[in-house]
Amino acid sequence: MADKRTAKLTLDDGREIVLPVFEGTEQECAVDVSSLRKETGYITYDNGFVNTGSCQSTITFVDGEKGILRYRGYPIEELAENCRFVEVAYLLVYGALPTREELDNFSAQLTERANIHEDMKHFFTGFPVAAHPMAILSSMVTSLSSYYPTSGDEEWNFDDTVARLIAKVRTIAAYSYRKATGEPFVYPRGDLSYCENFLNMMFSGEGKNYEISDKALRALDKVLILHADHEQNCSTSAVRLVGSSRAPLYASIGAGISALWGPLHGGASQAAVEMLMAINEDGGDCGKYIAMAKDKDDPFRLMGFGHRVYKNYDPRARILKQSCDEILDELNIDDPLLSIAKSLEKVALEDEYFVSRNLYPNVDFYAGIIYRALGIPVNMFTVMFTLGRLPGWIAQWYESTQDPDWRIWRPRQVYQGETSRAFIPIDRR
């Protein structure tokens, strides 16, 4: 039996505690502090959980130093090049690349469950035209639990719920766009694939001769694959946290959508393009915006840059940057924002401020250029991130529910408020 690995912690009062150490399959080592408070009364403190592992997972591996990303062991580069999004969704949720038959069955399930309950269409009437589609999406997805069995119900079935969520969230996303444009909803079709249906529901309709191009489809598949999972990021942690109370999967996904919305997370795809648009309107002066990003007194940040884990080039950004060139060439689009993005990247990566902090373009920096080329409006960019990330969230939620050591997540705190004091009646305050 190999010697048990341990770490010894000596506290400021001289007491020592020996804690177990364990290692992951990619040689990441962890000190298990589960017994720390019980044995010493001390807790750990880790602002932003920079150094804290919340779980053990077999789904996605990220090496931030080397710029490596793998879903279930498969390099993201190979999946993005060779797969359709639905195939990768299956891989993430079920842990293996599907056979042809498994993929056909999964696709058929998505087609069968693509419509939302007709009553849910009335929800859209209540939203103002200017409602942000992420607000619509998060509320509609949680509301799915009012129409379909949820975990805890006798008739609940995980596979059915997976298909419902992946198919219906796509439909709700397209409807939220049609709500904003005032156009009639286009229903999903049984003869179209997942991505074909999305583009068709977004852009076709009476009097429109919208043709789905293979190049647009290929670009959409690839961009969704690149967003499909990313270990324990903010929104995935929200999904796991809500799921840890045994809340329904729909509610956990609704929480993930809300967390993704923030501009420091998935909302950065919208913020990054808005930044590029501002630079373009400002004469393309990248230096001015680089200076603002470096100025500690200026809240401006280079959106789509930097990452908690990647201290090297985000492999997804590398693929997206190349895809931008391909899709714009193929669709014969000249988007000035792409050259501004490339100039901004070049200036930043030659600047000591960014180099010394290992700040590189992340997944959100180039994604918006592709969405624009597909005709998707800026306020839908984080919705696109949601469509991509959904299978990852589902896989992570399910993995947490299968954990034999499953516990509700309930962090501790260090209290810094008032110590005990006597109550003062209102007439004497």
* Binding residues for ligand SDX (CB under 6 A): 48, 230, 233, 264-266, 268, 293, 301-309, 357, 359, 362-364
Q: Which of 364, 403, 405, 427 is catalytic?
A: 364
Instruction: Determine contact, residues 335/280, Cβ cutoff 8 Å.
Output: no
**Residue showing the smallest CB distance to ligand SDX in the complex:** 306
d(CA 321, CA 327): 10
Question: Which of residues 179 and 307 has its CB atom nearest to ligand SDX in the complex?
Answer: 307
What sections of 244-301 are H helices per DSSP?
A: 249-260, 268-281, 286-294
Is 307 designated active site? yes
The answer to whether 134 and 382 have CB atoms below 8 angstroms apart is yes
Tell me whether residue 117 is one of the annotated catalytic residues. no
Closest CB to ligand SDX among 27 and 47? Answer: 47
Measured from the CB of residue 107, what is the shortest distance to ligand SDX in angstroms? 25
**Nearest-approach distance from CB 266 to ligand SDX, in angstroms:** 6
Q: Kindly tell me which of 88 and 202 has the beta carbon lying closer to ligand SDX.
A: 88
Rounded to whole angstroms, how far apart are CA atoms 428 and 76?
Answer: 66
Rounded to a whole number of angstroms, the minimum distance from the CB of residue 419 to ligand SDX is 32
Q: Considering the complex, what minimum distance in angstroms separates the CB of residue 289 from ligand SDX?
A: 10
Question: Among residues 63, 110, 158, 112, which one has the least CA distance to residue 394?
Answer: 158
CB of 385 to ligand SDX, least distance (A): 8
Query: What DSSP line would sit under 16-78, residue for residue?
Result: EEEEEEEE-TT--EEE--TTHHHHHS-----GGGTT------SSEEEETTTTEEEETTEEHHH
- Nearest residue to 78 (alpha-carbon basis) of 70, 90, 86: 70
In the bound state with ligand SDX, the residue whose beta carbon lies nearer, of 332 and 356, is 356
CB-nearer residue toward ligand SDX: 98 or 267 = 267
Q: How many CB atoms lie within 10 A of CB 231?
A: 18
Block residue for tokens 């648009």: 277
Helix (H) or strand (E) holding 325: helix 315-330
- Catalytic choice (307, 329, 351, 405): 307
Give the span between the Cα atoms of 89 and 95, in whole angstroms.
10
Could you tell me the smallest distance in angstroms from the CB atom of residue 23 to ligand SDX?
Answer: 22
Whose Cβ is closer to ligand SDX: residue 126's or residue 299's? 299
Catalytic residue annotation: 307, 364
